[in-house]
Chain A
Amino acid sequence: MKAALRLIPGAWLALLVAAPLVLVAIMALSWQAEGVPPYSPPWAGEGINPDNLRLLAEDPHYRDALAQSLVVAALTAGFCLLIATPMGLAIARAGRGRNALLGAVLLPFWTGFLIRIGAWIGLLRDEGWINSVLRALGWIDQPLPLLYSNGAMLLGMVHAYLPFAVLPVFAAATRLDPVLEQAAADLGATPGRAFLTITLPQLLPALAAAFLLVFIPAAGEYVIPELLGPADATLVGRVLFQEFFQNRDWPVASALAVALLALLLGPIVLFQRLGRSA
């Protein structure tokens, strides 16, 4: 019984989590080939193929996609943090309304993010809500090209990931000792100074965790750039999809996955350290 409890989930996870990752690594070293499935593995005679990973480092198309993804993820996480920090603090101090407010932050997370992206499409389109309101006000003659832009993409990403950032800030803020801030105020610190010198330093580990909790998934985001971003926004998630589904180049798609994981390894390890110490 005891052994079965360990073995069954262990075997499941080994087969469906560990083995697939090994296959991605092998595929990244394989050759694209005609046929179904469209590749030939290193042991089929041609040996290990180092070109896929080399291509990512040398071809600006892939290199830029990886770099841009990290920039977009960092911007998303930064904006999320800017909005989430006061939200998490205020909700932690809300007293009786705390649970309802936290629910209001989390409910969008449960409502499905496609719906929220759909809402932004409806708002930002040329014939969308914002453009019709601006036109009705007489402020514009031609619709502003809001949708399919970097701004729309970033807006959608921040909107989708914001609840992830609020949670760690909220959890840390509930553990803050209000007496410290009060003591600072009694000693003559202005509220702003008390916040910057007392509250903020105590929140730093949670802020770092919140940043990474957004940054890591955002770096591989595919759906939001596809639906809200400009057609030429080459982010790694999108390029991976293109290579896999359109070009049927499974080895290059896998090499992109390996590169993305390698780039995220540092942030992931850091995040887990922060989680353990919290």
Chain B
Amino acid sequence: MTPRWLRVAMWAGLAFLWLPVGLLVAYAFSADPVPFHWGGFSTRWFTALAANTRLLEAAWLSLRVAAGAATLAVLLGGATGWVLARHGPFAGRAALGALAGAPLILPEVVTGLSLLLLFVALEGATGWPEGRGALTVLLAHATLGTAYAAVVIQSRLASRDRELEEAARDLGAGPATAFATVTLPLMAPSLAAAWLLAFTLSLDDVVLASFVSGPAGTTLPVALFSMLRLGMTPEVNALATLLLAAAGVTLAAVGWLLRPRD
């Protein structure tokens, strides 16, 4: 039996989480130019958003950076997770685990500052990367994403027993065949979930991008941040509504990918 006060507290907590967001979405459809004032139903702010080329360019850049960073993160994080889950003890295992875990726990401002110092030092020493922009943001986000992907993939591999893979080997499959036909399909949902997680992290990051992007690398969160600094506009409501819808679809996809199977 769940005590009544517990359920009341839970619904109050959920209301606290959702009410601001709900109002934001509702007022995205208000015609009034003052945000959060009701002026009748209208989709004019979505139309206005579609004409805001600065934001659209930032959004397009963000999507490309996020996709690239997530792909790199799954490759690197997948390898890290695999090594940590499957390679047993080896020299440097503790160091690899600590390095992979560090970005999860370091304050964002420290990570952002440290990466900027790295890019500046690298450019000074080798001439690459030339200035800062989309590429440096991608590298920063790929590093953060790698840490998250390694955790997701490692825990999935650790929980999955290896009997199926060994059965395939017993039945005559070579290591490559066993990996491609048995292990990889079993890992696929966690790889996809890790990709989506890294993608979302990249799309949500202000601090790392503020440090490592030059004027040429304004991502959507950085653009949104500077808009919010000046206050709120109904266009932000409309943009937020679109992003929320995208996030809802993404979370449903993750839930579906990671659903328990028999």
Give the B-binding residues of A (Cβ under 8 A): 2, 5-6, 8-10, 12-21, 23-24, 27, 37, 83-84, 86-87, 89-91, 93-94, 99, 101, 103-108, 110-123, 125, 127-129, 132, 159, 162-163, 166, 191, 195, 216-217, 219-220, 222-223, 226-227, 236-237, 240-241, 244, 250, 253-254, 257, 260-261, 264, 268, 271-272
Contacts and interface: CB of A to CB of B under 8 A. Distances in A.
A19 B244 CA distance: 36
A163 B13 CA distance: 10
Contact of B21 (A116, A127, A223): A116
Contacts of B200: 110, 112
Contact of A101 (B10, B211, B240): B10
B191 to A, nearest CB: 15
A117 B228 contact: yes
Contacts, number: 237
A24 B9 contact: no
Interface of B: 2-3, 5-7, 9-10, 13-14, 16-18, 20-21, 23-24, 27, 34-37, 76-77, 79-80, 82-83, 87, 90, 92, 95-96, 99-103, 105-111, 113-115, 117-118, 120-121, 124, 139-140, 143, 146, 150, 200, 203-204, 206-207, 210-211, 221, 224-225, 228-229, 231-232, 236-237, 240, 243-244, 247-248, 250-251, 255
B194 to A, nearest CB: 13
A118 B221 contact: no
B244 A5 contact: no
Which label, helix, strand, loop or mixed, suits the secondary structure of the B interface?
helix
B243 A112 contact: yes
Contacts of B87: 2, 5-6
Nearest to A111: B247
Contact of B79 (A9, A128, A159): A9
Nearest to A14: B99
